[in-house]
Amino acid sequence: MSGSLLIVGFNRPEALESSYARVFKQLGWSVHFWTPSEALQRFSRGHRLGRLFSTYVHVEAWWRKANLELLQLADRLRPDLLLVIGTEGVRAGTLAQIKVRAPQSLIYCLYPDSPHNLDADRINCLPFFERVTTSSPAWVDAFERLGAKRVHYLPFAADTHLHAPFAGAARADFRHEVVFIGTWRGEREEFLEQLADVDLCLWGSDYWRNRTRPGSPLRARWGGRPVSGGEFAEACSGGKVMLNIVDAATWPGPNMRTFEQAACGAFSLTTRSPAVLDIFREGENIECFDTAAEAREKIKYYLAHEGERRRIAEAGYELVVRGGHTYQDRVEQLLGWARADGLT
């Protein structure tokens, strides 16, 4: 099956949207993007000041004009599938008019965030999608209550184009006992400070330097930058224990790191949740913790038992990459739904 796909979202190499786009292209689909934030910039008045203003303040007239661009693009392309990632910046009325102008187009929403980040504009869009997917099984009921017709749990996955075992030996600055890759947040700082007596490295934005409390030992543990692509794989290769902290806003997950670290062949120590353990088996292909004290105990144990650490890492890789948790597998699920909805 091949066709035409219009993705509403970010067209960046390492964005979730691009992971889906790569698979569709491999299947012979023509893929087009419309990025709401970029369209808004084109219609913001006041040149540079207006563009900056629109970043923080919703100006309905500007968003309406930006969405007219989406309507015109959908009218011209008449895509078989319109895939909206997240819905931010999309107007419900625009989706309604697309359904009038291109009734043969299926409109799906992949919502990669938690209900915590839903606002009124996003909620208003939900009834106009044939299907909505959530990244956690715990959120299906919430989206149905908010007006979505058919809601499915479709977890994140591994993009094997981006996430694969690192070839060769990791450089010295990537070799650490414990590694965390992610953005600074206050609760993460509080948690990680309890592990600061081990060889810990943090990779992420300069928030780790600027927002940690004065005197925090974590300031000296910051690797100096975010890591992605090959450097993400290198960090996973050099880190003996890769921490995956699932915070309150995204719990119970599983989050992206759950699959990405496993696809890089890493040993992951992850926040314990029922959604994670629906896919993984603790002690077999992942390890989990509830508290910093439990994380400390498991770090100490697995640093002293390299064979067990490697066994779990290898089993996690097999589960994700060969066990149905790549974006190739997720696209096949989407296409199964599309066929059921009449796509030929």
Q: What is the pLDDT of residues 116-133, one digit of tens each?
A: 889 898 999 999 999 999
> Is residue 43 a contact partner of residue 50, using CB atoms and an 8 Å limit?
no
Q: Are 138 and 266 part of one and the same domain?
A: no
Q: Are 92 and 8 part of one and the same domain?
A: yes
Q: Are 269 and 307 part of one and the same domain?
A: yes
Give the total number of structural domains in the chain. 2
Q: What is the dihedral of CA 230, 255, 303, 217, to 10 degrees?
A: 80
Q: Note whether residue 56 is domain-resident.
A: yes
Identify the pLDDT of residue 49.
59
Q: Note whether residue 72 is domain-resident.
A: yes
Q: What percent of the chain is modeled with pLDDT above 70?
A: 95
Lowest mean pLDDT among 34-43, 118-127, 267-276, 291-300: 34-43
> Is residue 155 a contact partner of residue 219, using CB atoms and an 8 Å limit?
no
Tell me the average pLDDT across 40-62: 65
User: What is the residue type of 266?
Assistant: A
- pTM over 0.85, yes/no: yes
Q: Note whether residue 167 is domain-resident.
A: no
pLDDT of residue 50 exceeding 60: no
Q: Give per-residue pLDDT as tens, 5-38.
A: 999 999 998 899 999 999 999 999 999 999 998 8
Q: Give per-residue pLDDT as tens, 228-262.
A: 999 999 999 999 999 999 988 889 989 999 999 99
Q: At 88, is the pLDDT very low, low, confident or very high (cuts 50, 70, 90)?
A: confident
> Is residue 279 a contact partner of residue 158, using CB atoms and an 8 Å limit?
no
Q: Are 254 and 334 part of one and the same domain?
A: no
> Is residue 110 a contact partner of residue 133, using CB atoms and an 8 Å limit?
yes
Q: Note whether residue 213 is domain-resident.
A: yes
Tell me the average pLDDT across 190-194: 97
pLDDT of residue 276 exceeding 90: yes
pLDDT of residue 101 exceeding 60: yes
Q: Are 36 and 141 part of one and the same domain?
A: yes
Q: Are 146 and 96 part of one and the same domain?
A: yes
pLDDT of residue 173 exceeding 70: yes
**Owning domain of residue 236:** 172-322
Q: Are 75 and 205 part of one and the same domain?
A: no
pLDDT of residue 179 exceeding 70: yes
Q: Which two tokens stand for residue 246?
A: 């699932």
Identify the pLDDT of residue 90.
94
Q: Note whether residue 241 is domain-resident.
A: yes
Tell me the average pLDDT across 148-173: 96
Q: Note whether residue 106 is domain-resident.
A: yes
pLDDT of residue 51 exceeding 80: no
Rounded to an integer, what distance in angstroms lies between the CA atom of residue 324 and that of residue 199? Answer: 34
Identify the pLDDT of residue 21.
98
Q: Are 214 and 120 part of one and the same domain?
A: no
Rounded to the nearest integer, the mean pLDDT of the chain is 94
Q: At 43, is the pLDDT very low, low, confident or very high (cuts 50, 70, 90)?
A: confident
Q: Give per-residue pLDDT as tens, 322-343.
A: 999 999 999 999 999 999 999 9
> Is residue 223 a contact partner of residue 240, using CB atoms and an 8 Å limit?
no
Q: Are 76 and 49 part of one and the same domain?
A: yes
Q: Note whether residue 165 is domain-resident.
A: no
Q: Are 127 and 259 part of one and the same domain?
A: no
Kindly report the CATH number assigned to the domain that includes residue 291.
3.40.50.2000
More confident site: 43 or 318:
318
Q: Are 67 and 92 part of one and the same domain?
A: yes
pLDDT of residue 55 exceeding 70: no
- One DSSP character per residue, 201-237 reads EEES-THHHHTSPTT-GGGGGB-SS---HHHHHHHHH
Identify the pLDDT of residue 45.
63
Q: Are 215 and 229 part of one and the same domain?
A: yes
Q: Note whether residue 164 is domain-resident.
A: no
